[in-house]
Amino acid sequence: MSQSDETATEVDRETTDTSDRSTVGQSILEVDAIDAYYGESHILRDLSLHVEEGEICALLGRNGAGKTTTLRSIASTAEPEVRAGQIRFYGHEITHMATEDVAVRGISLVPEERRIFPDLTVEENIHVAEVVRNRSNVLGRNISFDREQMPDEDLYEVFPRLEERLSQKGGTLSGGEQQMLAIARALKQNPDLLMLDEPYEGLAPQIIQSVEAAIERIREDGTTVLLVEQNAVAAMNVADRCYVVDQGSVVFEGTAEELRNDEETRQRYLGV
Amino acid sequence: MSDETRRADDTGTVDETGTGLAGGDLLTRWRSVKERESFVILGTVVAVLLFPYLFARAPVVSEILQGYQSLAELMLIWGIFVIGFDLLHGYTGLLSFGHAAFWGGGAYAAGVFAIHVSGSPIAMILVGTTFAVLLAWVLGFLSLRRGGIYFAILTLAFAQMLFYVALQPLSNLTGGDNGLGIGGSTIEPLLGFIPLDAGVPVITMFVDTWMYMLIGIAMVVTVAFAYRVLNSPYGMVFRAIRENEQRAEFVGLNVWRYKLMSFVLSGAIAGLAGSLFAIQQARVPVESLFWTTSGEVVIMSVIGGVGSLFGGPIGAALYLYISNIVQGMSEVVLFTQIDKLFPGAQAVVLPEWASPAPYWHLILGLLFVLVVVFIPRGGIWGGLQSIGSRIGSRFGGDR
């Protein structure tokens, strides 16, 4: 496909997407009865969920339940392989799309563990996403985009610590700061859906509070969040709705309040 | 450590303590000036102008080094090759074991063009580089389907295929085992009227011939081009891919496309170097396509410093120095100039067993091992930068 064709396709896609997004509170992401495999290991079994516009939706479960596999299936990574079911974003099927195309459509994934580019500076980590939409200016330093990026001022308002460390290498930041940076990089792309995989993992309680505050602030700014977390208590603090996953299937769906009141589900599947 | 990341450290460590203010202020200024594009290019111009003089003609220094002009030219050509290789390996994280394909391919294309079409050096460079670009596009398209060791093996396999094609089926065109003899008389004067072996007016003492000028200009252009690419959004994406490919995909980057671009840019610079090699040698040995050439550029890159713009040329110079000068040191003479200081005093000739010539492979191997063990990421250039930083911190900076 030529470059102009690609650009034209993207413009068409954007136009279509924008028209689809007129209804506030609708399901923007629908995962419909997917079966996902790592090699021959059947991980997700007939898993269905949906995420509504503007909400924080938490995907909870024990280690190995299939939470990360669900996020990776949505992000369309090389593994796992989705062999049955459909994933739709704003009504368009994205099931077997290339990972970068899923990101370009407005889904940003902040993966677990080391989530940043450690040898790039904080500023470069944030701005590396800017090149995604840059088709015309190859070697120049001024970049133009067809998708509006989040202004730096807005980003640093949410993450003031990062602004103080712009020229520092990402790998030299503390764990909490690295997590903030990973979220900031994803937000820079102005995503419609931000997927966070274990954002509290390995963080001190005080830092978790800061990350929680940042996630709530992101929701207030209108970004929908799909949160995967083992720390069920922390996740329920910020989530509007929750899914509990066990052995690759959804075993609970309801509001965070309903999950708090459902002691049997909490004890049986989350151990809290 | 890469030049970029080092710069990032530099800008983040401004002396704000009040200790050694004057020195700290000067250091801060120096750090900001030395990373400017214009300064990098100007520094390269000065280094390129002074290098052959210091290496081949300067009193005392050149006599100690035992350097000569054609080796200085060769060092620059290989330096360009290593810069191209490092663009792919050091900055994008893709280790190719088949870069001989672009070096040799560029050299053969330039040589064949000179013999059958035109011996214009500029045209030879354009043809050789263009051929390498096209070749890199095809080989990159095929090799980048796989990552890691499989990518390295694929590049090696394709380069070896080219070697055997040049050796036998295309021997009528390439000269087969004997290599391609271009002949000095086939290569025309630069721009039609400047013989490459003529001295450059005014600065003859420094650069000697137009041949060196041509190679020197190619080096400056390569550094400027590579610096611009590496400091553009492209360079940032290359480094992001080097750090973590999948994370780059999550950001929305088409990783495969950027890797192919890096491969093609790298191949283009290798092809430029190969074309210059054909012009300078007036022949193309078939070994220029052999796997040992691919191996040599890897060793040069590691010695000089992976992921640093100037590490490559330093690594190339050291490698060629050991394999050309040290290899020929059958007799070591110390204090050759001593009679100028103390009339009547005689130079000291060391016994034959002290000659390093038989051990030059060992010396090269030791150098490689020492660099890998003690300065694995920065190589010699990284080591020099580290020493510079320590000296800087002693004179007022905070590091």
For residue B276, the model assigns a pLDDT of: 97
DSSP states along B159-176 = HHHHHHHHHTTTHHHH-G
Closest B-chain CA to A105: B252
Cβ contact, residue pair A143, B233, below 8 Å: yes
| Mean pLDDT, range B45-67, rounded to an integer | 86
Rounded percentage of chain B residues whose pLDDT exceeds 70: 91
Q: Which pLDDT does position A114 carry in this prediction?
A: 59
What residues of chain A lie within 8 A of the CB of B254, using their CB?
98, 100
Residues pairing with B194 in the sheet: B190
The DSSP secondary-structure symbol of B53 reads: I
Tell me, yes or no, whether B341 lies in a domain.
Answer: no
Put simply, the answer to whether A120 touches B240 (Cβ < 8 Å) is yes
Task: Identify the burial level of B85 via C-beta atoms within 10 angstroms of its C-beta, where 0-12 means exposed, 13-18 middle and 19 or more buried.
Answer: buried
Q: Give me the helices (H) in chain B, please.
A: 3-11, 21-34, 37-52, 61-65, 69-92, 100-116, 121-143, 148-167, 171-174, 204-207, 210-230, 233-243, 245-251, 255-281, 291-304, 311-320, 338-341, 360-374, 379-394
Cα(A162)–Cα(A168) distance, integer angstroms: 9
The one-letter amino acid code at B258 reads: Y
For residue A264, tell me if it sits in a domain. Answer: yes
* Mean pLDDT computed over A240-257: 92
Report pLDDT digits (tens) over A46-65.
Answer: 999 999 998 999 999 988 89
Q: Which residue has the tokens 């630069």?
A: B190
Output the pLDDT for position B207: 84
pLDDT tens digits, one per residue of B58-69:
877 777 788 888
Domain coverage including residue A246: 27-270
DSSP assignment of B375-399 = STTTHHHHHHHHHHHHHHHHTTS--
Dump pLDDT digits (tens) for A175-222.
888 888 888 888 887 888 999 998 888 778 878 888 888 888 888 888
Cα(B170)–Cα(B167) distance, rounded to whole angstroms?
7
Residue A189 located in a structural domain: yes
Closest chain A residue to the Cα of B238, Cα to Cα: A128
Q: Contact, A60 vs A246, CB < 8 A?
A: no
Q: Can you tell me the distance from the alpha carbon of A110 to that of B280, in angstroms, rounded to the nearest whole number?
A: 52
As beta bridge partners, residue A87 has A31
B216-226 pLDDT, tens digit per residue, is 999 999 999 99
pLDDT digits (tens, 9 = 90+) for A127-183: 887 765 544 333 343 333 355 677 888 888 888 888 888 889 998 988 888 888 888
Average pLDDT over residues B159-172: 92
Residue A216 counted as domain residue:
yes
CB contact under 8 A, B247 and A115: yes
Considering only CB atoms, which residues of chain B are within 8 Å of chain A?
Answer: 2, 5, 8-9, 11-12, 228-229, 231-234, 236-237, 239-240, 242-244, 246-255
Q: Do the chains contact at B249 and A77, CB–CB below 8 Å?
A: yes
Closest CA to B93 of B271, B310, B215, B248: B248
Look at A119 and B5 and tell me if their CB atoms are within 8 Å: yes
CATH of residue A262: 3.40.50.300
Q: State the best of B35, B225, B244, B250 to mutate against chain A, taking most chain A CBs within 10 Å.
A: B250
What is the predicted pLDDT for the residue at B41? 93
**Full residue range of the structural domain in which residue B142 is found:** 2-9+19-324+356-396
Asked if residue B73 belongs to a domain, the reply is yes
Span B344-357, pLDDT tens digits: 777 777 777 777 77
Q: CA of B230 to nearest chain A CA: how many angstroms apart? A: 9
How many C-beta atoms surround the C-beta of residue A245 within 10 A? 23
Cα–Cα distance, B78 to B215 (Å, whole number): 10
Q: How far is B225 from chain A (nearest CA, A)?
A: 10
Give the residue from chain A lying closest to B244, CA to CA.
A117
Q: Select the residue of A103, A167, A168 nearest B251 (Cβ to Cβ).
A: A103
Question: Per the CB < 8 Å rule, is A100 touching B246?
Answer: no
Residue B1 token pair: 């450590």
Report how far residue B333's alpha carbon sits from residue B349's, in angstroms, rounded to the nearest whole number.
4
- Run of H or E residues at A244: strand A241-246
Query: Are the C-beta atoms of B205 and B53 separated by less than 8 Å?
Result: yes
Is A140 touching B (CB cutoff 8 A)? yes
The mean-pLDDT minimum among A193-197, B11-15, B27-31, B307-311 falls in B11-15
Is the pLDDT at B79 greater than 90? The verdict is: yes
Is the sign of the CA dihedral B54, B58, B61, B64 positive or negative? positive
The residue type found at B121 is P
Kindly report the CATH number assigned to the domain that includes residue B93: 1.10.3470
Residue pair B312/B223 in contact (Cβ under 8 Å)? The answer is no
Residue B251: name the closest of A120, A24, A31 by CA: A120
Q: What is the pLDDT of residue B24?
A: 65
Confidence grade of residue B30 (pLDDT, cut at 50, 70, 90): confident
The beta strand positions in A39-128, using DSSP E, are: 41-52, 56-60, 81-89, 92-93, 107-110
Q: What is the pTM of this model?
A: 0.79
Task: Evaluate whether residue A186 is within a structural domain.
Answer: yes
pLDDT at A225: 92
Residue B325 DSSP class: I
In the DSSP assignment, the letter for residue A245 is: E
DSSP-derived letter for residue B189 is: P
Q: Which residue of B has its CA nearest to A137?
A: B233
Res A125 pLDDT > 60: yes
Report chain B's mean pLDDT, rounded to a whole number: 85
When divided into structural domains, chain B yields a total of: 1
What is the band of A84 on the pLDDT scale with cuts at 50, 70, 90?
very high
Residue A63, domain member (yes or no): yes
State the smallest CA–CA distance between residue B98 and chain A in angstroms: 27
Rounded to an integer, the average pLDDT of B82-106 is: 94
Question: Which residues 144-183 on chain A approach chain B with CB closer than 8 angstroms?
Answer: 165, 167-169
A&B contacts, CB < 8 Å: 97
Q: Could you tell me if A52 and A25 are in contact, meaning their C-beta atoms sit under 8 angstroms apart?
A: yes
Chain A residues near residue B243 by CB distance under 8 angstroms? 117-120
Any idea which residue has 């980057």 for tokens? B253
Say if residue A80 is preceded by a cis peptide, omega within 30 of 0: yes
Q: Give the list of residues 6+ apart from residue B52 with CB closer than 8 angstroms, or none.
A: B69, B72, B73, B206, B207, B208, B212
**Closest alpha carbon within chain B to A102:** B252
CB nearest to A167's CB, from B2, B11, B255: B11
Q: And the tokens for A266? A: 């909490």
Residue % of chain A over a pLDDT of 70: 84
CA distance B252 to B249: 5
Give the residue from chain B lying closest to A189, CA to CA.
Answer: B251
| Among A residues 105-124, those touching chain B with beta carbons less than 8 Å apart | 108-111, 114-121, 124
Does B259 fall in a domain? yes
Residue A259 to chain B, least CA–CA distance (Å): 31
* Cβ(A193)–Cβ(A17) below 8 Å: no
Partners of B181 in the β-ladder: B283
> In B, which residues are within 8 Å of A108 by CB distance?
250-252
- Could you tell me if A221 lies within 8 Å of chain B, comparing CB atoms? no
Does B12 contact A120 at a Cβ distance shorter than 8 Å?
no
Number of domains in chain A: 1
CA atoms of B364 and B345, how far apart (whole Å): 34
Q: Can you give the pLDDT at residue B76?
A: 96
**CA-based nearest residue in chain A for residue B237:** A128
Interface with chain A: mutation pick from B229, B232, B251, highest number of A CBs within 10 Å? B251
> Within a domain: residue B335?
no
- The conformation of residue A116, written as its DSSP 8-state character, comes to S
Contacts of B281 (CB under 8 A, 6+ apart): none
Residue B336 pLDDT class (50, 70, 90 cuts) = low
